[in-house]
Structure 1
Amino acid sequence: MIVVHALRSILHLLFMAVTIVPWALAVLIAAPFLNSHQIYWMCAGWLRLAVKGGELILGIRNHVIGFENLPVGSTAPAILLVKHQSTWETFCMPTLMPHPLAYVFKKELLYVPFFGWAMAKMDMIHIDRSKRAQAFNKVVQQGQRLLDQGTWVIMFPEGTRIARGHKGQYKSGGTRLAVATGAPVIPIAVTSAKCWPRKALIKRPGTVEFSIGKPIPSQGRDADELMREVEDWIEAEMRRLDPDAYRAKA
């Protein structure tokens, strides 16, 4: 069975590599004639293709609960703080959310051939991590502008992919942005490592759970206290969704 999983994983990787080149070139050619939302949904089209490929080739399915917790309205603001276990949720979130999303990411990703070049055409928040104070000021300025136009900001508070059953250090950048802009925080738990472990070549079929929590108001809150509330909800929900991963640590 491991050989079958390996072959399917390689096939999906090749599928993404082959399809990203013409899609990215199409984005680069079309970008001067499109507005930011049109560019976003064009790029999201490739993500849908990659996710559909994951469903058909890898046998990975998504199950989402809590859609009713998302803010309603074309310009209703939200900052999504998401558990990060693999690349899967990075691909899936734009395909699941009703609003355009703006990721906060390091600018080095813009130099990745084709994928990064297409990302550079999107209205997102890329930062220079070597300039921490300036980087956060940029996040607030651009974040406020994007939220005002109906784009939701998405961040992974642990900063990097975390192994199944583990918890990273939750950083308060997302809640600091929420407090600065007054946007509510939406915590989201994801069990992607059951199927797509971090840094793993071999993926396994199964169901990835996305659990969307209720909005947490940010106005008048302390950013660190707010992040602890987000962390507590996400980690408790992870234990509920994937108890086997945490049973050995109980």
Structure 2
Amino acid sequence: MIFLRSFLFAIVLAIVTPPYAIFGVLTFPFPPRVRHRIITSWAPLVMWFVWHLLGIRYRVIGKENIPAGPSVILSKHQSAWETMALQVIFPPLCFVLKRELLRVPFFGWGLAQIPGIAIDRAAGKDALAQVVEQGRARLKEGFWVVVFPEGTRVAPGTARRYKIGGTWLAKRAGVPIVPVAHNAGEFWRRNAFLKQPGEIVVSIGPPIDVKGVKTEELNTRAEAWIEGEMRRLFPHHYTAEALAAVGPEIKAAESEDLG
């Protein structure tokens, strides 16, 4: 049954995504907010199939913590699920993403029309400058900015070094940081064809005020809240047995990063 559900979902994506991408390319004459509204209507549509076809539900804790104005979201990154779900949970937003994603047929073409922050990760310190320059522009346009501080998808129960780009942007733009924890990787694993039914819990933390606090300290506070919340809500991912089970997934992620 899980294989059949996952197979049908893959077919749905193959049918739905190309027309949306082509239509997205045709929206280039419209203002950024209009393009964003049109193209990102793809996300709630796909999320409907995620729920009704894959059997993956979600529950949000701390929705009252969402600030009134644009902010920088620092989120745990475990799967493709959160790239869709965050668009439904939060106000209009954009992502910091790898520039090469824009070259992916159909998906990347449509993505290129959504106001976002496309960076060259090989640019080193210049990549950080790209995040700040483009990120401040997006925030001024009224978009929230999502940053995955670990830089890549991580297996449940594990963590990687939190990079400073997201907090650096929030500090320079003078907007709050909103930390987010979730367990999407428990049901939708990295690069996995099979998706398991269940309930994903998304926890939104209290916004972190950037005023009067150094960037490094802001990064430490965000990491402490996210990783602490992960252990509070999902302690079963942090047992020795659970960590041993995701060993191959961790090695695969490391190899991909090195490549």
RMSD of aligned alpha carbons: 1.4
Cα pair 1:66 1:212 within 8 Å, conserved: yes
Q: Which amino acid aligns with 1:81?
A: L
Cα pair 2:27 2:113 within 8 Å, conserved: no
Indicate whether 1:90 and 2:103 are aligned: no
Report what 2:61 is aligned to. Answer: 65
Which runs of at least 4 in structure 1 moved beyond 2 Å after TM superposition? Answer: 132-135, 247-250
Report what 2:210 is aligned to. Answer: 218
| CA distance in 1: counterparts of 2:121 and 2:156, whole angstroms | 26
Displacement of 1:202 in angstroms is 0.9
Equivalent of residue 174 in structure 2, options 172, 176, 182: 182
For normalisation by structure 2, the TM-score amounts to 0.89
Equivalent of residue 37 in structure 1, options 33, 44, 61: 33
| CA distance in 2: counterparts of 1:50 and 1:178, whole angstroms | 30
Report what 2:255 is aligned to. Answer: none
**Mean Cα deviation higher: 54-63 or 20-29:** 20-29
Displacement of 1:69 in angstroms is 0.6
For normalisation by structure 1, the TM-score amounts to 0.93
| CA distance in 2: counterparts of 1:21 and 1:209, whole angstroms | 30
Equivalent of residue 47 in structure 2, options 51, 57, 67: 51
Pairing 1:88-237 to 2, within 5 Å after superposition? 88-97=81-90, 99-237=91-229
User: Matched residue pairs, number?
Assistant: 242
Displacement of 1:132 in angstroms is 2.2
Indicate whether 1:77 and 2:77 are aligned: no
Q: Which amino acid aligns with 1:145?
A: A
| CA distance in 2: counterparts of 1:87 and 1:211, whole angstroms | 17
Indicate whether 1:19 and 2:16 are aligned: yes
Cα pair 1:44 1:95 within 8 Å, conserved: no
Query: Which runs of 5 or more structure 1 residues have no equivalent in the other structure?
Result: none
Where 1:30 maps in the other structure, the secondary structure is coil
Q: Deviations over 1:56-97 (max 9, x none)?
A: 11000010111111111xxx2300000011110011111111
Report what 2:230 is aligned to. Answer: 238
